[in-house]
Structure 1
Amino acid sequence: MIEITIRLKGPAQARRLATLLRTLADTESDRGQAKTYRGAARRLEHLARPFRYTTTRPPRPAHAELDEEAVQRVVKGLRPLPELSRAEARIACWRLTARRCSAPEIAARVGVTPRTVNRWRAEDKAVTR
């Protein structure tokens, strides 16, 4: 295996190199090597793309205050259920787990998937051990 480091001076050069790698992949007789070239081209094109937010709402501050009232509304099931931050959702999940609610029920109230609820429960278990 040979590792090469290349410095490019901007997205235009990254896209040009990606095009050259795709051309090289089309002429390569070894299928595995062609796949490697195409993967490198795909990563270069991804890096050359401009950064854009994927959500329409502004991101939450990293250290926002926890809204205890919103967490209590979710735990008690009072409608309409408020939208929770990630930290608030995790606290609500922990409290609903203590009340022996199922993962699908917690997920519906908190606004996450049941898989996320199960992952949070497993992480909490690992920390308490």
Structure 2
Amino acid sequence: MIEITIRVKPACAQRLAALLRTAAELEADRGQAKTYRGAARRIERAPGIRRPAARTQRPAPARQKSTRPPVARPHRYTPRVQRPTGRAIDERAVQRVVSGDHPLPVLSRVEARTACWYLTQLGCPASEIAERVRIAKRTVHRWRAEDRQAVTS
């Protein structure tokens, strides 16, 4: 997922919201269309933006019921970040993440844990570590607890 911040004048914001709604209507992927509509709604709710006139709802086209039984589709898990695989640790990539040199590389799981350890030693908060290493904040807390447990055992 890519997050983008765009600053526009209030006069242009209304047009951008309308374009997003048009893109949502043309989008074949329902999830992406929902994302476009949500972005348009957030733009319209922003302070200083005039609210659009109420839109008339068109009736949904009548759907014909299918006679075929539903097909069970396998659930595919897609992680947030496609991490490289391999046992070797790329120290340069880890040091780039620790020093905050952008663009930050995507680290393997072992490299991410190493970078988390270094950033913890530097006193960085869990939220910053999670953002840099591209892991959940809860994972940072769990790894820290596991490291403390290993030291005390």
- Which interval holds the TM-score relative to the shorter structure? 0.5 to 0.7
Q: Is the 8 A contact 2:94 2:114 kept in 1?
A: yes
Query: How far does residue 87 in structure 1 lie from its aligned partner after superposition?
Result: 0.5
Partner of 2:148: 125
Percent identical residues: 50
Mark the CA change 1:59 to 1:107 in structure 2 (over 3 Å): closer, same or farther.
closer
Match of 2:114, SS state, is helix
Task: Please tell me the root mean square deviation across aligned C-alpha atoms, in Å.
Answer: 2.4
Taking structure 1 as the reference length, the TM-score comes to 0.54
Partner of 2:52: none
Partner of 2:95: 72
Query: How far does residue 113 in structure 1 lie from its aligned partner after superposition?
Result: 1.2
Partner of 1:110: 133
Partner of 1:85: 108
Match of 1:108, SS state, is helix
Q: State the Cα deviation string for residues 62-99 of structure 1 (Å, max 9, x = none).
A: x4311111000000000000001111000000000000
Q: Is the 8 A contact 2:107 2:133 kept in 1?
A: yes
Partner of 2:51: none
Aligned equivalents of 2:105, 2:84: Cα separation in 1: 15
- One-letter amino acid of the counterpart of residue 121, structure 1: R
Of 48, 54, 59, the residue aligned with 2:77 is 54
Aligned equivalents of 1:95, 1:58: Cα separation in 2: 22
Taking structure 2 as the reference length, the TM-score comes to 0.46
Gaps of 5+ in 1: 1-48
Query: How far does residue 105 in structure 1 lie from its aligned partner after superposition?
Result: 0.6
- One-letter amino acid of the counterpart of residue 108, structure 2: S
Relative to total residues, which structure has the larger helix share, 1 or 2?
1
Aligned equivalents of 1:121, 1:100: Cα separation in 2: 12
Gaps of 5+ in 2: 1-71
Aligned equivalents of 1:50, 1:97: Cα separation in 2: 42
